[in-house]
Amino acid sequence: MSTTVSPLAPKHVPELPAIAGVRLATAQAGIRYANRTDVLLALFDEGTTAAGVFTRSKCPSAPVEWCRAQLKSGKSAKNLPRALVVNSGNANAFTGKSGRAATRLTAEIAAKAAHCKPGQVFLASTGVIGVPLPDARIRAALPAARARLSAGGLDAASHAILTTDVGPKVAAAAFRAGGRRGRVVGFAKGAGMIHPDMATMLAFLMTDAEIPPPFLKAALRRAADETFNAISVDGDTSTNDTVLLLASGASGAPRIGGAADAGDFKSALLSVCRELAWRIVRDGEGATRVMEVLVRGAANERDARLAAHAVATSPLVKTALHGGDPNWGRILAAVGRSGARISPARAHLAAGPLCLVEGGLPVSYRERDAARIFARERVPITIDLGVGAARARVLTSDLGHDYVSLNADYRS
C-alpha cells in the first residue's frame, strides 16, 4: 500500500529578521489576479553592492537581460543598486520590444521612488510566459508601495513573489566579522520547472555586511552551485531564473573580502541557500517527499553529477518515491544509463542506514524496513559507483497526480 505525506504547509515558515539598510513593501497591482499581492519594492541604502546568477536559457526574459546589463556596468558608485522591483503573475518573457520597454519604464518609475538612476534598479518577474506585461499597473502601484516601506517588510515580500507555491520559502543565518554580528536572510519562490542551471525560481539574499562585488560574486556562485544548481523537481528550467545577493554594508562590521571572517560569512550564506533549496524541492508542485541523492565513489565530479541527476530526474524513480516504494532497481537502472562510469561488481546502494545492494548484488533485508524509510518526508539514498573518490549530492521531489493537475491547466 502506498503512503504519502502532506505538501509543505505555510505554518512551517519562520519569521525573518530585518536587515539594516534595506526597506521593503508590497502592493496589489492586479497583474493576473485581482486582490492578490503581486508586486515587491525594495530600497537599499547608498553603498549597497550586488551579485547575481541567472538562467542559462538562450531565451532569457527581459528582466534577466536588464539585470545582467546592470551588473556588467556596475563598476562605479553611480551604478550600485538602490532598488529592486519584483512582480508575480507575468514572466515578461518572449515579449519582444514591448517587454524590454516595460522593464525600462518600470525602472524609471522605481528610480524616482528611490531617488536614483534607472540603472541602479534591479528587476525580476515570474509567471505566465508570452503575455505582455501590464507594466502600467506595476508603475501605478509603486508610489503607494514607496509610502509603506519598512525594515520589517521581509515576510510580506516573501509572499508577493509566489505563483504555484504552497507557501513562501525563507531562511536566515548569523555570522561574525571583526567581532561584530552580521546577518544573511533570503526568500525564494519556486515549485515547478525546477532543475540545475538553474530552475524557475527567484531568490533574493540580503546581508548587512560590507562586501566588494568581486568577492560577493564568487561567494554567490559557489553557494548557488552547491544548492540551487543541485535540485530537481521535474527536469525543466525557465526563462526567468534569478538569484540576487545584495550587501548593504550597514552592520558596521569591517569590510569582508579575503579576510579571516570571510569563511564565517560564506558558511552563513551557504546555510541560507541550502535551506531555501530544500524548501523549493519540498514544495515541488504536488510533492509529498524529497529524496536526497548522494553519489560517491565516482571517477570525477562530472560522473558523480551525471549519476545523481539521472536518478533525480527519472520519472520511474520519482513515481516510486511518491508511492513510498523502495524500488532500488529503478535507481540503479538510472545510474546505468547516466553515462557515468560504474563498477557493477563494486556498486553499493543504501537507504539511510539500511544497505540494499553491496558488491552489485542485493543483500538480505526486511522489505518493511526499506518501506519505512521510503515513507519518510526526506529519503536519504547513497550510491557508490566503486571507481573513484568524487561525489555529488542532489535533492529531488516525488512526482504524483497533483503535478499533472497543476500543470494541465496552469493558464486557465
Which positions are annotated as active-site residues?
A: 200
Note every long-range contact of 264-268, with CB atoms under 8 Å and residues 24 or more positions apart, other chains counting.
264/175, 264/176, 264/177, 265/175, 265/177, 265/182, 265/184, 265/207, 265/209, 265/211, 265/219, 266/219, 266/222, 266/223, 267/173, 267/175, 268/173, 268/174, 268/175, 268/182, 268/183, 268/184
> Could you tell me the three cell numbers for 40?
515587491
Contact assessment for residue 235 and residue 284, using Cβ atoms and an 8 Å cutoff: no
How many other C-beta atoms are found inside a 10 Å radius of the C-beta of residue 87?
A: 30
Rounded CA separation 397/226 (Å) = 17
**Of 129, 312, 163, 333, the residue nearest 233 (C-alpha):** 312
- Does 198 sit behind a cis peptide bond, omega within 30 degrees of 0 on the bond before it? yes
